[in-house]
Structure 1
Amino acid sequence: MKRRDFIKVAGLGAAGATTIAAPAIAQSMPEIKWRMTVSWPKSLDTLYGAAELMAKAVGEATDNKFQIQIFAAGEIVPGLQVLDAVQNATVEMGHTASYYYFGKDPTFAFGTAVPFGPNQRLNQAWYMLGGGKEALNEFYKGYNVVSVLAGNTGCQMGGWFRKEINTVDDLKGLKMRIGGFAGRVMQKLGVVPQQLAGGDIYPALEKGTIDAAEWVGPYDDEKLGFYKVAPHYYYPGWWEGGPMLLAFINLDKWNALPKYYQNVIELAGAQANSWMMAKYDQANPQAMRKLLVSGTKLHAFSAPIMQASLKATRELYSETAATNPGFKKVLDSLNGFTANGYQWFQVAELGYDSFMARNPQT
């Protein structure tokens, strides 16, 4: 056969294969409709928006053969019952913060953030490449769910207070909306912790049911109006240095998915994660300026409060690890990864960021 004739035949063969393969692949994909309940009200367009983006990406990647419908907090279950709804297959999927379920087992805190834990980049590096995903999914398996990374807010703020907080004594008796492991730490310092979903915080502050509340950061906090009833805004949120948000998926439903659909969900989660980080970096500086113009009083937590919080955190870690082997296993994994990460960060990253913070662009 002549070379020219061979190329023609090969070309026809390749074209024919393409024509046949595309419909075959499309036909092989099952039509699936899932429901995703989230812990967020629709008004929080970054948290809720990440779930929406994830569902949209799944639909587009599968030619809408795989559709995920989003339900805001309260539409199917309250915002703090997402895990239960997924575990029991009331819905197939949920978008939430793992540490909301700290009351079931303190190990849940690691899926979001723990006090004086890693920053945004190190936290998700541990999850993605440092054994975090495997360690957490081994734990989540006991609750019939599997996790997919689907967001990160970056370092959060320390919250809104009705009055100034300068000493550890100022914390005693303070009723504060604060969730997860951080609530237990604050309890050691005399705070009375309260766990409330995002949409319930403002009414509680307004009515005086609570004296203080932490949420996320300037962009979301300004939307929820906390500055109107609690003018003192503190930083840093030492309990959330780089909190991850996860998509929880019912384990049986996950295992029944074609591998291609599983990959699509993980890629959609990665897209939502990247978008959320960029969105907060874009929106928080503008929101902070608006808050300050509106009369917000910005404060750093005092050194005594920070040191007392760190001491209480380490004590609680030791107490919990001594009685909870699963908690200790994940804590050891995270601490080992973080120690190496910060050794590197203090060389180039910290030096550069510190210099640029002192010499802002004009």
Structure 2
Amino acid sequence: MKRRQFLKGAALGAGATTIAAPAIAQSGRTMTIVSTWPRDFPGLGISAQRFATRVNEISNGAITTEYYAAGERVGAFDSFDEVSSGNSNAYIGADYYWTGKHPGFAYYTSVPFGMTTQEWNAWIKFGGGLELWNELSGEFGLVKLPVGSTGTQAGGWFNKEIESPDDFKGLKMRIPGLGGQVITKMGGSTVSLPGSQIYENLVSGAIEATEWVGPYNDYFMKFYEAAKYYYTGGMHEPGGGLALGINASWWGELSAWERHVITAAAYEEHAAAHDEAMANNGEYLRKLIDEQGIEVRSFNDDIWDAFADAATEVFEEVRDHSPLAKKIDDQFQAKLREIGSSIASLEGTFVNQRNRILGIG
């Protein structure tokens, strides 16, 4: 099947959540899914498992999923190649893990000073983002759909206070994607570790700091046993999404009804994962403070300015990578300003005034 045919299928919306299974679907199909998250992992792992279950439920058993958490079939960071090669049908993970293959993948998780989840959703669904995501992914034999989001993430866990940009010099930190490149520009030493390996490296001192997600997810990681300072509101992941990466050849073999089922389940879980994190972050931030005695900090303006200077260099390097990388950055930056401006004028004005009056924040 020609690439444009199966990419067209990837753009199917989530509107058809009530779908009658055609008679031909009753013969059944198996969808093998690998993940970058550990099994039963609070937040991210449970979200991926919930998606696999929903495909079964929405299809009334016509599509049976076989879900493998990180390490059960392949390692977390082997998921991309596993699906690109056709050994498995799909993966669930964060596409910024694959910036070594192409820096454009970072934009489909999150980038420094980038889009919040609300802005990213608008770009992906109605601003041409999904089509461009699939143009990039098609070069690797993949089709993409959003399948999760965590909202704006915390700045991370540190075993010392970060009071100036100089405090990042020589700092050993787990932080992937373009955010990691920003820290490198500032003199840090960064690594990209799967979630299952972060705690042991932080406790042993192999790394001195790490970002992960936010209070709800972070609470269960027990980073507070090795790092006392928790910085909120990071520059590296203001929002965005997680990826369902589907082998393009397999996707092309599916009926339109089967593609609708998978798309509906993916969009449903994309919303559910974000909403679950938003519902729980406040409670678990309080638990971290009250039960574990962590100290919440915010980066000062000098640090934010240094982040911005380093990010400018990183984006210039991304644009120099290839015409497609430049095309992605051009569209992303234009939509960020267009969408972000209206949100700032409407929701931003309201939220700032509401919080001032109610004493929130």
* TM value normalised by structure 1: 0.91
> In structure 1, which of residues 292, 307, 310 is the aligned counterpart of residue 308 of structure 2?
310
> In structure 2, which of residues 323, 341, 346 is the aligned counterpart of residue 325 of structure 1?
323
In 1: Cα distance, 2:124 partner to 2:174 partner: 27
Gap runs ≥5 in structure 2? 1-18
- Match of 2:231? 234
Gap runs ≥5 in structure 1? 1-21
**SS of residue matched to 1:224:** coil
After superposing on structure 2, the runs of 4+ consecutive aligned residues of structure 1 that deviate more than 3 Å are 27-30, 359-362
- Match of 1:5? none
- Structure 1 contact 103–180 (Cα < 8 Å) conserved: no
1:193 aligned onto 2:194:
no
In 2: Cα distance, 1:262 partner to 1:207 partner: 45
In 1: Cα distance, 2:187 partner to 2:246 partner: 37
In 2: Cα distance, 1:28 partner to 1:221 partner: 41
Give the Å deviation of 1:86.
0.6
- Match of 2:178? 181
Give the Å deviation of 1:31.
1.1
**SS of residue matched to 1:116:** coil
Counterpart of 1:63 in structure 2: which amino acid? Answer: N
CA deviations over 1:3-44 (Å, ceiling 9, x no partner): xxxxxxxxxxxxxxxxxxx99933454411121111111242
**SS of residue matched to 1:89:** coil
> In structure 1, which of residues 333, 336, 345 is the aligned counterpart of residue 334 of structure 2?
336
Give the Å deviation of 1:308.
0.7
Counterpart of 1:352 in structure 2: which amino acid? Answer: F
> In structure 2, which of residues 350, 358, 361 is the aligned counterpart of residue 360 of structure 1?
358
Give the Å deviation of 1:232.
0.4
Give the Å deviation of 1:192.
0.3
CA deviations over 1:303-328 (Å, ceiling 9, x no partner): 11111111111122123212321111
1:244 aligned onto 2:241:
yes
CA deviations over 1:54-76 (Å, ceiling 9, x no partner): 22222122220111121111101
- Match of 2:58? 61
Bigger mean CA deviation after superposition, 185-194 or 57-66 = 57-66
**SS of residue matched to 1:346:** helix
Counterpart mapping for 1:65-214 below 5 A: 65-214=62-211
Counterpart of 1:37 in structure 2: which amino acid? Answer: V
In 1: Cα distance, 2:131 partner to 2:26 partner: 28
Equivalent pairs counted in the alignment come to: 341
**SS of residue matched to 1:146:** strand
- Match of 1:11? none
Counterpart of 2:297 in structure 1: which amino acid? Answer: H
Counterpart of 1:148 in structure 2: which amino acid? Answer: L
* TM value normalised by structure 2: 0.91
- Match of 1:277? 274
Counterpart of 1:86 in structure 2: which amino acid? Answer: V
Counterpart of 1:273 in structure 2: which amino acid? Answer: H
- Structure 1 contact 176–213 (Cα < 8 Å) conserved: yes
Counterpart of 2:69 in structure 1: which amino acid? Answer: A
- Match of 2:16? none
- Structure 1 contact 176–193 (Cα < 8 Å) conserved: yes
Change (3 A) 1:134 1:232: same
In 2: Cα distance, 1:55 partner to 1:23 partner: 19
Give the Å deviation of 1:361.
8.1
Give the Å deviation of 1:111.
1.2
Give the Å deviation of 1:134.
0.4
1:300 aligned onto 2:281:
no
- Structure 2 contact 145–245 (Cα < 8 Å) conserved: yes
